[in-house]
Amino acid sequence: MGLLGAIEAGGTKFVVAVADENYNVVERTAFPTLDGEKTLDQVIAFFDKFENIDAIGIAAFGPIDIVKGSQTYGYVLDTPKRGWSGYDFLGRMKAWRDIPFFWTTDVNGAGWAEFETGAAKDVQNMVYLTVGTGIGAGIVSNGHLLSGYGHPEAGHIFLQKHPEDKYAGHCPFHGDNCLEGLAAGPAIEERWGISAKEIPDEDIAWKIEAYYIAQAALDYTMILRPEKIILGGGVPHRDILFPLIRESFSEQMSDYLEVPDLDDYIVPVANGDNAGILGCFYLAKTLV
């Protein structure tokens, strides 16, 4: 077998890597995200050095078109990010070299790593939720990445507001109606006027944050009945959130539904910040 390739295509930085069939990294590099064309120039310059790549997994910031058969399959869709709207990301890669590519979202990439060898390695149904600059989810149902008319946008479900929260919300589409508008990193920072990292553990900020994440977890539970809900991204680096989320989940659920023991149900990522690249390798491997 030849090598596997990985492209973790983030809105602020790209990470590219190649590994052998046992996922030992041969080379890896990162660079800031420019516009589509210029960024892909760098991606291709990196992979050009390797003759024997069998497949590449691409986990890209969205929204992207992942619907096979769609006219714009492989494109980046409407995005405020300059030089990316309507960019044919996958087309450019295919024009470069005719090998199999696994094309999916950044959260599906990291989520798949959790599913294969991370916190969800023993289950077939999971939600990987990342809470950072934005909020998004990668969902595995019955062992497969869930998608339909497009990929999930599970950060934009509507939530009830916490009774003590007066913040106007920061989602440009839904204000304070949706999870991302209320609970992403920038919402925390705008609401309290200080960096999320600097808010002390005892602050009510984390109770409110936990309430929103718990309510979202409740909705995912009702609809998807996952066996694990895994929290990634910068905000869940705050360990205190986990007990607070579990407590709030249990209160809001009010004994309606049987779920796994909460300490095993709502859990942090196991692959850490390596999940994105690892997921790309695993997804590439499914193609060879």
Work out the burial of residue 227: count CB atoms within 10 Å of its CB; fewer than 13 is exposed, 13-18 middle, 19 or more buried: middle
User: d(Cα 243, Cα 93) in Å, to the nearest integer?
Assistant: 44
Q: CB 138 → ligand ADP: shortest distance, Å?
A: 14
User: d(Cα 69, Cα 197) in Å, to the nearest integer?
Assistant: 43
User: d(Cα 56, Cα 187) in Å, to the nearest integer?
Assistant: 35
Per partner kind, with CB cut-offs from 5 to 8 A, the member of ligand ADP, Zn ion, its own copies, none near residue 149 is its own copies
Q: CB 153 → its own copies: shortest distance, Å?
A: 5
Per partner kind, with CB cut-offs from 5 to 8 A, the member of ligand ADP, Zn ion, its own copies, none near residue 161 is its own copies
Instruction: Region of 18 please: left (phi>0), alpha (psi -120 to 50) or beta.
Output: beta
Q: CB 216 → ligand ADP: shortest distance, Å?
A: 16
Q: CB 160 → its own copies: shortest distance, Å?
A: 6
Asked if 184 and 131 count as a contact pair (C-beta separation under 8 A), the reply is yes
Q: Which residue has the tokens 């600097």?
A: 198
Q: Where are the alpha helices (DSSP H) in 118-266?
A: 179-183, 185-192, 204-224, 241-253, 262-265
185 binds ligand ADP (CB under 6 A): yes
Site for ligand ADP in 255-274 (CB under 6 A): none
Strand, coil or helix: what is 25?
Answer: strand
Q: CB 221 → its own copies: shortest distance, Å?
A: 8
Per partner kind, with CB cut-offs from 5 to 8 A, the member of Zn ion, ligand ADP, its own copies, none near residue 168 is none
Instruction: Name the residues that contact ligand ADP, by CB under 6 A.
Output: 12, 132-134, 185, 189, 195-197, 233-235, 237-238
Instruction: Note the residues at the interface with its own copies (CB under 8 A).
Output: 77, 124-125, 137, 139, 141-142, 144, 146-161, 173-174, 177, 215, 218-220, 222-227, 252, 254-260
